Structure 1
């Protein structure tokens, strides 16, 4: 099997990352795998905490929180593998997962990015992801295939082209990545993997899903199901994605819809559900796109755990 670099970003969750390392150790040999841990916002060096759990670890301490895209990019720049496998630190993998992913890539040279079936860790018989539908560029909306369906093995033997990969688990060839480019760090959090897919498509590569293997995902352990950071970046980056990946006319039409319909609707919904503290972050996320804010701090936003 080819050499693989697994990259995972840790942000104040050493125990969760250790669980991932243990699952990797059970799944594959360190002879062909290097695990690169990017420790985002790390005040102290944690390498010795992670080292006992996998034999081939490369630890990168970043005192600054670079976000999901920035953290992964930092790891990618130091990766030595023929394949780059991005894995959220809040995932765990079964045996032969990596072997199956690489085999799918080697069987089809058109695949640029490949994600496996995602199952909810706390509800392992429930599907989180089995691919994405294409985005409607006028509304910025698409759907996750299979989400919340019971896993009855319906995807076990399937691999197919899909709209977008899932950032929790995605593999690519290093050679393709060098053509497509790194993730855009302007996103910081959310939508960066969708934007990355667009980059791969522009260099002639396809986005695929496979149900021949899976991962368990501890969804929202890092951010929470409803939080200021999630509300802000989802709002902000939905429009940023459209601005970056469509023409000016589509961007104008989307901006009208998003500014006059979608965001006011979200704000009203949050106000009526007594979540005014979240409603203001919808406004701030929208405002960033009009003020061309250089960073979230300019809007009074501080990133917290």
Structure 2
């Protein structure tokens, strides 16, 4: 069988590996895994080096492999047997390798920011999922946004390797997330990964996002395929659309059964802030999240500012996340609809032309009228009135420019 060239990663270094099936001797090995076929098909394709996407992972390697290690190290562990994951079959085969460091190559560094307000248990669950990821250069940062449920102490006890930021007073999502963004930019990481706390991810989540971003420097941000946590075959988001209607954004595929209809990487109008990978250099150019958008459309505004600088928003279908939708922010209630209406009015003021204004006002009028009678029978008409009040507030509010990185402390 011909040798198979693969790339393996250890720490922040990239190594080129010439791999071949191991014989009876116990030698150093790499694990090759692929998804999308049955275990037997995947094994055959990986073995024949056909056009199947595979990733390399070092098994039993020392911290700093020598520049060239012909044959590998003795007594390395054997590869694990084939197993089945939630998204297809994984197969792993033990190979012997010759490692050569690729000069000048390194694994991009990532800072994953998890924002939490009084969500101790789901935050612990999210961090456990993130710590199980296979990406070798990802720092986890927990932003405790003024929680009073012991979240900070619980994270310190259960996840001592997680960096923490304590915000003493909850001043909203944007204020809290900006604290994490500033820290990550100061760290000099290559990418920032903004995350909700009510999520679970596949182990290769960050690899897939970074791989998509690395294909083109014009890609400013990347979002994953997001499935409902309780219905893992049903889509919540496959990238998003901006519509200039009563609801300014809409998630592609929301509520649809995932049959592969969005299984292609492509440009999208915006990426939902539930999970967004962003280049640090883009953040340095466009600035922080805008506190003008207190609870809604902060992510869409960020995407619009990226696109104004010539960057693109992208969807990476192989990166998979499960979202406990509405667990954090609740449903159709006055405290939320007010900010939805306010942010929508601010958004159309900042980005809308005549056609967008006409669309927004038409759909807003019809939407509020229908929603009032729908919520009236539920005794929840106050939520509709609150949305109308939010729109009026958004039309009147001063429009300050978005804060830059150096202005973060003052603006927030």
In structure 2, relative to structure 1, the CA distance for the partners of 1:139 and 1:10 (3 Å cut) is closer
Within 5 A, what are the aligned runs for 1:183-198? Answer: 183-198=289-304
Q: Which residue of 1 aligns with 2:288?
A: 182
Query: Structure 1 runs of 4+ off > 6 angstroms?
Result: none
Establish whether residue 151 from structure 1 lines up as the match of residue 268 from structure 2.
no
Within 5 A, what are the aligned runs for 1:3-18? Answer: 3-18=109-124
Within 5 A, what are the aligned runs for 1:77-96? Answer: 77-79=182-184, 80=187, 81-96=189-204
Equivalent residues, number: 290
Q: What is the CA-CA distance between 1:250 and the residue it aligns to? A: 5.3
Residues 245, 363 of structure 2: 8 Å contact kept: no
Q: What is the CA-CA distance between 1:13 and the residue it aligns to? A: 0.5
Establish whether residue 170 from structure 1 lines up as the match of residue 246 from structure 2.
no
Distance in 1 between residues matched to 2:201 and 2:261, nearest whole Å: 19
Establish whether residue 62 from structure 1 lines up as the match of residue 167 from structure 2.
yes
SS at match of 1:60: strand
Residues 344, 391 of structure 2: 8 Å contact kept: no
Q: Which residue of 1 aligns with 2:307?
A: 201
Q: Which residue of 2 aligns with 1:101?
A: 209
Q: What is the CA-CA distance between 1:20 and the residue it aligns to? A: 0.7
Residues 181, 199 of structure 1: 8 Å contact kept: no
Residues 346, 395 of structure 2: 8 Å contact kept: no
Distance in 1 between residues matched to 2:252 and 2:395, nearest whole Å: 32
Q: Which residue of 2 aligns with 1:130?
A: 238
Among candidates 219, 233, 238, match of residue 344 of structure 2 = 238
How well do the aligned residues superpose, as a CA RMSD in angstroms?
Answer: 2.4
C-alpha deviations, 1:232-278, integer Å up to 9, x for none? Answer: 2212211111112224x457646753665443443343224432232
Q: Which residue of 2 aligns with 1:285?
A: 390
In structure 2, relative to structure 1, the CA distance for the partners of 1:213 and 1:256 (3 Å cut) is closer
Residues 126, 198 of structure 2: 8 Å contact kept: yes
Q: Which residue of 2 aligns with 1:303?
A: none
Residues 229, 322 of structure 2: 8 Å contact kept: yes
Residues 117, 209 of structure 1: 8 Å contact kept: yes
Within 5 A, what are the aligned runs for 1:256-271? Answer: 256-257=361-362, 260-271=365-376
Q: Which residue of 2 aligns with 1:48?
A: 153
- Point out the structure with the larger helix share: 1
Q: What is the CA-CA distance between 1:113 and the residue it aligns to? A: 1.1
Residues 35, 57 of structure 1: 8 Å contact kept: yes
Can you give the 5+ residue segments of structure 1 that lack an aligned partner in the other structure? Answer: 295-305
Distance in 2 between residues matched to 1:251 and 1:276, nearest whole Å: 27
SS at match of 2:209: helix
Residues 344, 394 of structure 2: 8 Å contact kept: no
- Point out the structure with the larger strand share: 2
- Higher RCO (CA 8 Å, separation ≥ 6 residues): 1
Can you give the 5+ residue segments of structure 2 that lack an aligned partner in the other structure? Answer: 1-106, 400-412
Residues 10, 39 of structure 1: 8 Å contact kept: yes
Q: Using structure 1 for the length normalisation, give the TM-score.
A: 0.86
Distance in 2 between residues matched to 1:138 and 1:119, nearest whole Å: 25
Distance in 2 between residues matched to 1:73 and 1:28, nearest whole Å: 27
SS at match of 1:128: strand
Establish whether residue 23 from structure 1 lines up as the match of residue 129 from structure 2.
yes
Distance in 1 between residues matched to 2:260 and 2:365, nearest whole Å: 43
Q: Using structure 2 for the length normalisation, give the TM-score.
A: 0.65
In structure 2, relative to structure 1, the CA distance for the partners of 1:181 and 1:250 (3 Å cut) is farther
Q: What is the CA-CA distance between 1:281 and the residue it aligns to? A: 1.3
Q: Which one is further off, 50-59 or 228-237?
A: 50-59
